[in-house]
Amino acid sequence: MKQQTMSIQKTKMYILVQWLISNRYIVFFSTILFVVLANILLFYYHSNLIDKSLKISILILSIEGIMFGLLQLSANHDWNRRSLTAIKLQEYIDKIKDIRQELDNLTSQNEIIKYDGRYISFTDRINFFNAKSTNARGLDSNEFHNWVGEKDPETNQFVCIVDQKGNKTIKTTPNGSLIIHYVTKIINTYESIAINVKYQIFDSDIVEDYLRSSIIKNYKFFENYIKHQRDEHDSPNFAVILEEICKVYEGVIEKFEQKKGTDGT
């Protein structure tokens, strides 16, 4: 949770710096506007040379000018946020592609993932799930243990180790440790996107248009594994915001399907 908070703070700071750099003229305009308003107010309260109605007119025009300036400021901020969202999302997408490529190379070359009697790559495994065939299933802890766990060659049972607290865990192979690392990075990348959406750092509409389907499919694929990590490996906050955002997006799809059925289209 501490790392998530730091990530949010860093992203907010990045957005602020980028916004200030790209909108120097807006900051300058706002400063000038504030100074002008201050002078008008001083003039309004201390001048006896103009009548009350003219003072009120000047004040109203000043307020309208300030409101226009604030609206312009907000519009530019929203545009920059949308622009930044698109840029950062592409970075996240490229990052996920790179991780999945590493996983594909690792799992294919070492024949790690066996599905329906044959060895496949990590991407093939996700594609089987997304295809929604009759035997499609998400990743669960038992399958994942077979990917990463070390087995005794004589008994074909997992080799277990006991930590200082007396907890027994399955010993991982060198390749298994890499798989855990890569899978965790994928889930955490989607979690980072979800955090940016929840705290309105990213433009939610753009994220939904870009990645709604991908977020739902990936969360559903990893869902049982995520719950296993929370329940069995002392990680209660693992991907919780990703789950929240996934449920929101599922609700959007459900409403769309209901409307589609009502309209008869």
pLDDT tens for residues 72-116? 555 466 777 888 889 889 999 999 999 999 999 999 999 999 887
Residues 6 or more apart from 189 whose CB is under 8 A from it?
92, 95, 96, 99
| pLDDT greater than 70 at residue 182 | yes
Query: For residues 207 and 26, which has the higher predicted lDDT (pLDDT)?
Result: 207
Using a 10 angstrom Cβ sphere, with 0-12 exposed, 13-18 middle and 19 or more buried, the burial of residue 123 is middle
Mean pLDDT over 231-236 rounds to 88
Range of the domain at 60: 2-263
**How many residues would you count in the chain?**
265
Q: For 205-230, write each residue's pLDDT tens digit.
A: 999 998 999 999 999 999 999 999 99
CA atoms within 13 A on the CB side of 171: 10
Number of domains the chain contains: 1
Separation of alpha carbons 138 and 77, rounded Å: 40
Q: For residue 258, what pLDDT is reported? A: 56
Instruction: Find the range with the poorest average confidence among 81-90, 144-153, 220-229, 247-256.
Output: 247-256
Q: Is the pLDDT of residue 172 over 60?
A: yes
Q: CA 195, CA 218: separation in Å to the nearest integer?
A: 16
Q: Name the average pLDDT for the chain.
A: 78
pLDDT > 70 in the chain, percent = 64
pLDDT given at position 49? 47
Report how far residue 221's alpha carbon sits from residue 246's, in angstroms, rounded to the nearest whole number: 12
* Per-residue pLDDT reduced to its tens digit, 184-208: 999 999 999 999 999 888 889 999 9
Query: Residue 26 above 90 pLDDT?
Result: no
Q: Give the C-alpha separation, 48 to 140, whole Å.
A: 80
Q: What's residue 57's pLDDT? A: 52
Q: What's the rounded Cα separation, in Å, for the pair 194 and 245?
A: 6
* Per-residue pLDDT at 218: 94
Question: Which of the two residues, 168 and 17, has the higher pLDDT score?
Answer: 168
Provide the 3-class DSSP secondary structure of residue 158: strand
Per DSSP, 161 falls in state E
Q: At what angle do helices 174-198 and 52-109 cross, to 10 degrees?
A: 160
